[in-house]
Amino acid sequence: MKIEKIQSGDIASLIKDFNNYIIYYFDNLKFGKGQIELDTDNVNEAFFFGEGKCLHIYREDGVKGMLYIEEPEDKEFILEEQILEDRILKEPLKVLAVKKYIEYDEDGQAYISRTLPVKFI
């Protein structure tokens, strides 16, 4: 997996490349499909994602980001569907698909190295 650090000034232009989002603001949660503006003053953490790539935005001494891009050798993963609770749904999204990427330690033991959202279904 290719991982790039993203500067806070580049976040606004990069989120336009994604059609799915989960945004954890300090006072509410937003998720869905389509384009959305990001309130960087109020965001605690956010994910903008699509097939093969995910932009993770987080707060640590300011707003920062990491761009994860899947590569051909990223073949070992578990695709999991997580059912969304009816009480938080405001649109017809029912399931969040996530990939759990598998790596191996020095003893050959498998572990999940990262979990990233893929798409809403």
Tens of pLDDT, residues 84-120: 876 655 666 789 999 999 999 999 999 999 999 999 9
Rounded to two decimals, what is the model's pTM? 0.89
Distance separating alpha carbons of residues 84 and 93, to the nearest angstrom: 8
Show the CA angle centred on residue 59, arms to residues 56 and 62, nearest 5°: 120
